[in-house]
Amino acid sequence: MRTPLIVGNWKMNKTASEAAAFVRELASRLTAGSQVDIVLVPPFTALESVRAALGPSSTIELGAQNLHWETQGAFTGEVSGPMLRDVGCTYVIVGHSERRTLFGERDGDIQKKVRAALVHGLRPILCIGESLQERETDRTDVIITAQLTAALAGLTAEELSTVTIAYEPVWAIGTGRAATIEQAVAVHRSIRACAAQGWSHSTASRMRILYGGSVTPQNAESLLFTEEIDGALVGGACLKVDSFATIIAAAQNKPLH
């Protein structure tokens, strides 16, 4: 059994005070003791206020949107793994398609970031996904496999067990056009098969694979009730308490497979 995981990626949204208000409202809306892991991923500047608003006993975890692979030094504008741990992060998103396309991150950078996250006790959420052109030219599987094997190269089975994969088709992110269940299931199966081939079946079967790309309160149930989809990485719909709480509730109702 893989515990469902819902991750809210705030991207470059919300000030520290807006973040704290959001967290208090969200916490008041959630029902206790449900079998869903929740991770909030605010911008760096709001990490501390989200941590404070969550309080020491919250089960909601904190994640960062990116990290640098070095520990410290002359890297203006960057943030390292130990800094993220110190502010309370337990997760970090690595290789988001916006980092790849807007900021030129390559597979080699992403591999170093995954390794740095693991070295510093952070659980990487590795984003992979094909562009529309790659899908339309039947290259989805090749692209997914290449991104996956490059980013995870050299990891032990134990290390891999702390990695979450987020399948995020680039054409579905922020477009309102989510993948169909069939499209998502096919890619999730390829990802698990690729992990089984590289490591083992039991390692692959424990790995959580999330879907991301235009997840909304309207489509969350159908996506999350699908056996192969272990949770969601949510962008736009995580910025409003109502819609994010509805998506979390859908994960809480996910049938046991």
Among residues 234, 241, 247, 249, the one that binds ligand PEP under rule CB under 6 A: 234
Rounded Cα–Cα distance for residues 75 and 96 (Å): 20
The C-alpha R_g of the chain, in whole angstroms, comes to: 17
The question of whether 257 is a catalytic residue gets the answer no
What is the closest distance, in whole angstroms, from the C-beta atom of residue 178 to ligand PEP in the complex?
8
Of the candidate spans 66-74, 111-119, 197-205, 228-236, the one that interacts with ligand PEP by CB under 6 A turns out to be 228-236
Residue with smaller CB distance to ligand PEP, 199 or 215: 215
Catalytic pick from 68, 96, 120, 188? 96
At a CB cut-off of 8 Å and minimum separation 6, what does 146 contact?
Answer: 107
Helix (H, G, I), strand (E, B) or coil at 74: coil
By CB under 6 A, is residue 231 in contact with ligand PEP?
no
Residue 163, both tokens: 């990695």
Which of 82, 174, 198, 217 is the binder for ligand PEP (CB under 6 A)?
Answer: 174
Task: Compute the least distance from the CB of residue 101 to ligand PEP, in Å.
Answer: 12
CA dist 158 and 43 (Å) reads 29
First vs last C-alpha separation in the chain = 8
- Convert residues 177-216 into a mask of x (bound to ligand PEP by CB under 6 A) and - (unbound): -----------------------------------xxxx-
Q: Do the beta carbons of residue 207 and residue 195 sit within 8 Å?
A: yes
Whether 130 is a known active-site residue: answer: no
Sign of CA dihedral 109, 112, 117, 118: positive
Instruction: Give the interface segment with ligand PEP, choosing from 13-21, 34-42, 46-54, 233-241 (CB under 6 A).
Output: 233-241
Query: Which residues lie closer than 8 Å to 180 by C-beta, 6 or more apart?
Result: none
Task: Please give the angle made by the CA atoms of 200, 195 and 156, to the nearest 5 degrees.
Answer: 65
Of residues 203 and 214, the one with the C-beta less far from ligand PEP: 214
What would the x/- binding string for ligand PEP be over residues 29 to 68, using CB under 6 A?
----------------------------------------
Sign of the C-alpha dihedral computed for residues 64, 70, 71 and 76 taken in this order:
negative
Catalytically annotated residues:
96, 168
Task: Note the residues at the interface with ligand PEP (CB under 6 A).
Answer: 9, 168, 173-174, 212-215, 233-237
